Amino acid sequence: MADYAISRGYHGALVLEEQSSSTWQNIAFAIPYLEGADRIKIVSLPVHAEKARRYLAQQRPDLAQRLTRGADYRFAEWMPLKPLVTLYILTKHRRTQHMR
């Protein structure tokens, strides 16, 4: 995503979080960088961005209040795969809920 942001003209500071092995950990490890932010925007594939926003709300509701939506939905994007991706996300989410 950093390379993509740069290719699209972003010139601000970037921090790469490279320790996590899950979205939950990625959000947890990113929280110290988000503390002073006025606005927080999570950029990823639509279903992944939504999952990350939900995890931020669970871990730090105060920071989740600063979330602003990115342009993560594009009409008809991934249309043929959406039912499969949705099923995968829901199944994985249910498994994760049972583990906690």
Q: Are 40 and 67 in contact (CB under 8 A)?
A: yes
pLDDT-derived band at 74, boundaries 50, 70, 90:
low
Structure token digits, residue 94: 């249910």
CB-neighbour burial class of residue 85 (10 A; exposed 0-12, middle 13-18, buried 19+): middle
- Taking only the tens place, the pLDDT of each residue in 4-63 is 888 888 888 888 889 999 999 999 999 999 999 999 988 887 778 889 999 999 999 999
pTM of the predicted model as reported, rounded to 2 decimal places = 0.69
